[in-house]
Structure 1
């Protein structure tokens, strides 16, 4: 058992541990490179934008630190990017070279993988796909996430790297369609508010939800809010963000 612990410790952090005495250096290097390269390549594929904006040395220093020190709670490869996100959220020590948007960008990039592998099933008996969204209670697909970021993460690239948060939050609607394709939509605050109310809603029909938004906005013509909101709901239906109305 101690031999296995020593072997694994050296693979995770060859610079911080002594090589097992009875295994030659050449063989240990093969294992070290194999394990590290698998992890690094998997992270680079999951976080391509983050990888592209970091210097090679800095990127590998982050992955090395994660690989050496983070204790994963799952052996499953699809869950590894989530483990890396946990490392950034809870364990990553301050480094002046880390971009201020790094955590939000990593979360944004992880979302695509997470939603593509999410196992959620809907029961068509519980909703009417042809129902009236104003008179019925709208049903939001469980494959829809509403996200809010301080940085415009969907625009970040090697050419665009904001150093301070925007005055207004960036609201993104992420959803998986009927063909299992992932889509991202930037939403204004009112559209984001509408989706949030429908996600949390239990008993109000679409008309009541939109009337609530009109009241929140103190809009002088609430009928216009309802009309525009109905158009958004119908667009959500076409995209699969809304499944229909509750039976």
Structure 2
């Protein structure tokens, strides 16, 4: 019996997926009742929209219902996701905003705000645990090597993303970069610390140079700043290291 006229199953799957993503453009596969297709359309859309709503709540609050749903549909239609896992969809949505979203009516801080919200979710879902780290006692933040938590991310933005909301939507970047340390502590609480260029640089040095003592990192900053009073930087830097330790951004120290 010749089945050459029967649709290939893969072709049917592709047609099904195209219709689910963009029902206004692509017809449903032949032979499937529209009522049944409607259930799938609603299920898929609601899952993706619900995920984006829960992971980007501030971003959503800045859009009307119609514009928000239009953006979610555009995400479904235009973006090719590289993961089937919903917990990783946040990165996919940020990638979509970065590479495919192009709407002159979007706020200028759109991408940075979305990235900031994604980071909070990514840290909350990260499976890394901090309990296994054993610090050298007593903790010596200057003469030993401060260990930066793998769940601490130093980030730099043009807009004050941690302050943006319906009542504050800056249209111009800040005159100075915004430095944030976003982290998850040992109690699995995600928090952030607004900081300055020196603290930001200190964390960068400690992250990239695993054998660097606290004093050596601060000495490097003295050189980079060409600071005339090194002890001022060392003393202030020590206080900063203590604050970072208290927040679990630094987990403790190890011998050099």
Q: TM-score when scaled to structure 1?
A: 0.93
> Paired residue for 2:3?
none
> Paired residue for 2:159?
151
> Paired residue for 1:102?
110
2:243 paired with 1:240: no
Query: Alignment partner for residue 72 of structure 2, among 63, 66, 72?
Result: 63
**Deviation string for 1:127-155 (max 9, x for gaps)?**
42533111112111111100011111111
1:15, CA displacement in angstroms?
Answer: 0.3
> Paired residue for 1:113?
121
Q: Say which is worse superposed, 45-54 or 23-32, in terms of deviation.
A: 23-32
Q: Count residues with an aligned counterpart.
A: 245
2:218 paired with 1:200: no
1:200, CA displacement in angstroms?
Answer: 1.5
Instruction: Give RMSD over aligned pairs.
Output: 1.6
Query: Alignment partner for residue 167 of structure 1, among 175, 192, 211?
Result: 175
Structure 2 unaligned runs (5+)?
A: 1-8
Q: Say which is worse superposed, 106-115 or 71-80, in terms of deviation.
A: 71-80
How far apart are the structure 1 equivalents of 2:212 and 2:37? 63
> Paired residue for 1:6?
15
Q: Is the 8 A contact 1:130 1:244 kept in 2?
A: no
How far apart are the structure 1 equivalents of 2:164 and 2:122? 20
2:54 paired with 1:45: yes
Secondary structure at 1:244 match in 2 = strand
2:233 paired with 1:186: no
Secondary structure at 1:171 match in 2 = strand
More helix per residue: 1 or 2? 1
> Paired residue for 2:5?
none
> Paired residue for 1:213?
221
Query: Alignment partner for residue 222 of structure 1, among 210, 220, 230?
Result: 230
Q: Is the 8 A contact 1:173 1:184 kept in 2?
A: yes
How far apart are the structure 1 equivalents of 2:145 and 2:39? 59
2:128 paired with 1:131: no
- Give the number of the structure whose alpha-carbon radius of gyration is greater: 2
Structure 1 unaligned runs (5+)?
A: none
1:121, CA displacement in angstroms?
Answer: 4.7
